[in-house]
Structure formats: C-alpha cells, structure tokens
Amino acid sequence: MLNRRDFLRAGAVGSGAALLPALGGTPARARTPLLRTRAPLAPVPFTAPLKVPDVLRPVRRTATTDFYELTVKEATAEIYPGVPATVLTYNGTSPGPTIRARAGRRIVVTQTDAMMHETSLHLHGGIVAADDDGHPCNAVMAGGSRDYHYPNKQAAATLWYHDHAHMMEAEHAFKGMAGFYLIGDPFEEALGLPDGPRDVPLMIRDARFDDTGQLMWVPDDFRGRKVALVNGTPQPYLRVRPAWYRLRLCNGGTLAEYKLALSTGDEMIAIASDGGLLPAPQALAMVDLTPGERAEVLVDFSRYPAGTQLVLVNQRGKVDSDTNLMRFVVGDGPRVAGGPFRRHRGVPSRLRPMHRLTGEDAVRKITLGIAGNPGAPTIDGKLFDMDRIDTQVPFGNTELWEVSNLDTYVPHNFHVHGVHFQVLDRNGTPVTGHETGWKDTVSIPESTTVRFRVRFDHYRGRYLYHCHLLDHSDMGMMAQMQIS
Ligand SMILES: [Cu+2]
C-alpha cells in the first residue's frame, strides 16, 4: 500500500489536486501550482481562532521529579488556512507544547533530535546548571537525545524554551522552534490571579513568507519580516468572557520589536516581567518587548459591552500584518463581578517584594556593534568563539554591567544566561514599567547605554551572553563568561 509520500511521488499530485488540502504535508506538495494560485497570503484578518498550545503531560512522575519528552522534528502547519507550511517543531507543533512547572519540583526534559542537523535546547530565563543550559557546545546531534535537568528553584515566571544550536539559533527559532515554560509557586497562587482559560500565553513573533505560503528564511532580514504570528497564526481572534484575563506576552521573534497596546487606548496592568512578579502592579498604555522579553498584563474585559472588539496593536508596525496583531471579542456570558482576585477587591497594591541589589564588586563595560565591522555583529569588537572565555566572573560577585550599543542605526538587546538582573537606567534615565522587575533580556536601542546590576550566585560554569536579535547572535554577537 502506498503511504502518503509515495502517493505524491507517484505523480498523483495533478489528478488528486483537489484532495491536497485534506492531506498532511510535504514541502514538495506545498509548491504545487494549485497552491500558488490561491493567493494564500491575503486572508481576512481575525477569522482564525487563536491557538493556545497544549500543556505537555509528563511521561513519568516520581516524588520529586516530572519527566517530559520533546522531539524536534519537521512538520506541517496551516499557518494560512488551507496552505500547509513546513515548520520546525517540538512534538509536531509551533509553538511547541507548554510545560507547566512548580517551584521546588524538578523537571527532566529529554530532547530527541529527529532532524538532519544538530539542536540545543535552551530554557530562556531558567536558572539551571551550565551543562543543562543548552550551550551550543552541548548540542544534540541528529538522531541523538539529551536530558536537561531543571531544578525550578526560582520564583513563578513566564519562561520559554527555544533552540540554541551553534550559528543556527536564528534560523531554527524562525522556522518554529520555541515554546512556553511556565513556573508557578504558592505565593503567586495565593494572589488568585485569573487562571484556566483566562490565563493566556501569547507568543508573538516576526515572520516572512514566500508567495506559496512557506516561511522564507533570509538572514538579517530586518525589513522583510512583516508578518506577526500570535501562537503561530497571523491575526487570530480570541473570544473572551466579560472578566479579567492574564495575558503572558512573549516576544518569541528574531528581529522585530513590539510596542503592544489595546486599540481602545485603555491601560493594561503589568504584573510581571521576565523573572516573574513585579513588586507592585503598573498601569501601562503600552508594553515594549524586544526578542526574548516577556511581560504579563491583566486586562479587564468586564468593562466592555458584549460584542466589543479590541485589537492588540503593535505601535511599531509598518503594515497591517505586523500592526493589528490579534482581536479580542467580548462575549455576553455572565460577568465576573468585582476584582479578579480571590483575596482582594480589585488588583492588589503589592505583588512580590523585591530585594534591590546595591553596591558592586566589579564594573564591566561591554560594547555591541556592527558598524565598522560590516556584516560582523560583535561584542567588544570580537565575533563569538566557542574556545574563548571572554569574561571571568568570581562566583558570588555582585556586578554593575554597562552595555553600550555603538551602532547609530541598528538596535540590539542583551540577554545573559544563568542569572536575572535589575536594570537601572538607559542613557542615565531610570527604567520604568515592567523593566523595574527582574529581567534576563533588555532592549538597547541605537546609541544607547544600559546599566544593570547582577549577582552571580546560582551556579558555576560557562554561560553565554548575547544580543537576542537572534540573527545577530547567530552571526557572532555573542560571548561567554566563566563563573568560578
Ligand atoms: Cu543585535
């Protein structure tokens, strides 16, 4: 009996063309003339429902540990309706399945690489041992597998996982390799934040498609990635109840920055940053996220009449497909009266207390720049070298890092593995909003210096720091430190 691939190879494509949308996918089929004539890239906005990634089930549990399995493989996804596109996935979907962790309970993820090239799983924002951090020197070879140990000895937070293979992280993430990893803890649960279907992770990422609906990878494609996908779909909609919602916003993209706002101009209540809950809620009209950054906001949909439509807008957008990101449609179900929090009437005035780092054992000045090195994004003038340690950090040090973007027309940002940090200021102006919380990634626009304090007291070992505009890190804007 012919399997699907044989069926297609046997030349049945022409005669069976009408059946194609109902079949699974191969890249060859997606390039058939039939699909080329379907104008796949002009769908009606807000007609596809938002997909919320499934929560992954552990394959095994012990008294202390949950065991999960992630397989990296190529798959097809209907990013545009009726147009199968080839994507790189964890367990067959992009975004991959969501892993829900609890602080204090260990997780082991076994990643199997079912592709033809190496991969390396990085838990972005995770405080994990150096060998479990997805350093490119620990890549999983094609056909191999590796166990990653996540102790979850950190506060509740929205983390995400993505690939970090050597000089491949940008292309792999662009083609779909990313997913959410959400840590909960008793402190956060006691706040009674919106949960269940009212706790919505939104991975927003930049993409570019060719005229057959396939993801089109062009390195450093700043102008080309004009389509924003939300959980893998362009311009989806979500029906919401007239109630408070918790939106976990993650820029899972490669180059684009998103300035997120509601089309009504109403404020969102920011409650968390990369590292988890803020000390206090912050009402924000706009949330600015560069690639890798997360922020959690609360939105009160009970203040809108049934039938109200709100759009999540990107104020940095250039065209409709990267400006009007998704639509919320307020339903007419029973209103959830009063505040969203079981122990509070309204939003609590305080969230998690935050100990401010003071003083420093060392001051480090770091520069990011492409200008002067055309096509060579560097840190301190050097391209990434896996055999070179760029910075020696004594374990336990509290340090002040001053990171400068020397470029006058190229934005960068900065991600440090293995730690969280506290941002002080940007060109001397104190940061505000969600940036006042614990961060692991910070925006550094053109001609800008950002200062942050960081304490290296989690693990010893070799960790990366880099620009998280992944095309830049991929091409060399990455370095490594030895904490010892
Ligand atoms: Cu950069």
State pLDDT tens for residues 197-234.
999 999 999 999 999 999 999 999 999 999 999 999 99
Residue 76 has pLDDT above 50, yes or no: yes
User: Is the residue at 343 inside a domain?
Assistant: no
User: Which range of residues forms the domain containing residue 104?
Assistant: 51-188
Clarify whether residues 207 and 310 are in a common domain.
yes
d(CA 138, CA 463): 12
Dmax (CA) of the chain: 73
Q: How many domains does the chain have?
A: 3
Distance 475 CA to ligand 1 centre (A): 10
Distance 447 CA to ligand 1 centre (A): 12
Residue 471: left (phi > 0), alpha (psi -120 to 50), or beta? alpha
The alpha carbon of residue 320 and the mean position of all alpha carbons in its chain are separated, in whole angstroms, by 22
Clarify whether residues 83 and 148 are in a common domain.
yes
DSSP of 195-247, one letter per residue?
A: -GGGEEEEEEEEE-B-TTS-B---TT-TTT--EEEETTEESEEEEE-SSEEEE
- Mean pLDDT, residues 360-379 taken together: 88
Clarify whether residues 313 and 254 are in a common domain.
yes
Distance 139 CA to ligand 1 centre (A): 23
Clarify whether residues 377 and 430 are in a common domain.
yes
End of a domain among 296, 330, 364? 330
User: Is the residue at 40 inside a domain?
Assistant: no
User: Confidence class of residue 375 from pLDDT cuts 50, 70 and 90?
Assistant: low
End of a domain among 136, 167, 188? 188
Distance 185 CA to ligand 1 centre (A): 34
User: Is the residue at 444 inside a domain?
Assistant: yes
Residue 88 has pLDDT above 70, yes or no: yes
Where residue 267 sits, what CATH number does that domain have?
Answer: 2.60.40.420
Please give the pLDDT value at position 23. Answer: 30
The mean-pLDDT minimum among 64-73, 284-293, 297-306 falls in: 297-306
Distance 472 CA to ligand 1 centre (A): 5
User: Is the residue at 436 inside a domain?
Assistant: yes
Clarify whether residues 179 and 210 are in a common domain.
no
Clarify whether residues 283 and 212 are in a common domain.
yes
Residue 337 has pLDDT above 90, yes or no: no
- Mean pLDDT, residues 38-51 taken together: 80
End of a domain among 124, 154, 188? 188
Distance 379 CA to ligand 1 centre (A): 10
Clarify whether residues 319 and 440 are in a common domain.
no
- Which amino acid is it at 107? I
Distance 257 CA to ligand 1 centre (A): 12
Residue 235 CB-density burial (10 A; 0-12 exposed, 13-18 middle, 19+ buried): buried
- Mean pLDDT, residues 449-476 taken together: 97
Please give the pLDDT value at position 9. Answer: 30
d(CA 138, CA 131): 7
- Mean pLDDT, residues 249-258 taken together: 98
User: Is the residue at 252 inside a domain?
Assistant: yes
Clarify whether residues 440 and 393 are in a common domain.
yes
Question: In this structure, are residues 214 and 309 in contact, taking their beta carbons and an 8 Å threshold?
Answer: no
- Using omega within 30 degrees of 0 as the cis cutoff, is the peptide bond preceding 21 cis? no
Clarify whether residues 166 and 244 are in a common domain.
no
Clarify whether residues 218 and 273 are in a common domain.
yes
Distance 368 CA to ligand 1 centre (A): 7
Distance 412 CA to ligand 1 centre (A): 4
Neighbours of ion ligand 1 (CB under 5 A): 412, 467, 469, 472
Distance 248 CA to ligand 1 centre (A): 24
Distance 225 CA to ligand 1 centre (A): 16
User: Confidence class of residue 349 from pLDDT cuts 50, 70 and 90?
Assistant: confident
C-alpha distances (whole Å) from 16 to each of 11, 19, 33, 45 are 9, 5, 13, 30
Distance 445 CA to ligand 1 centre (A): 9
- Mean pLDDT, residues 266-283 taken together: 97
Give 123 or 36, the one with higher predicted confidence.
123
User: Is the residue at 268 inside a domain?
Assistant: yes
Residue 2 has pLDDT above 90, yes or no: no
Distance 369 CA to ligand 1 centre (A): 8
Clarify whether residues 209 and 272 are in a common domain.
yes
User: Confidence class of residue 341 from pLDDT cuts 50, 70 and 90?
Assistant: low
Distance 401 CA to ligand 1 centre (A): 17
Distance 133 CA to ligand 1 centre (A): 21
Distance 107 CA to ligand 1 centre (A): 32
Distance 148 CA to ligand 1 centre (A): 28
Clarify whether residues 306 and 363 are in a common domain.
no
pTM for the complete prediction? 0.90
d(CA 247, CA 194): 9
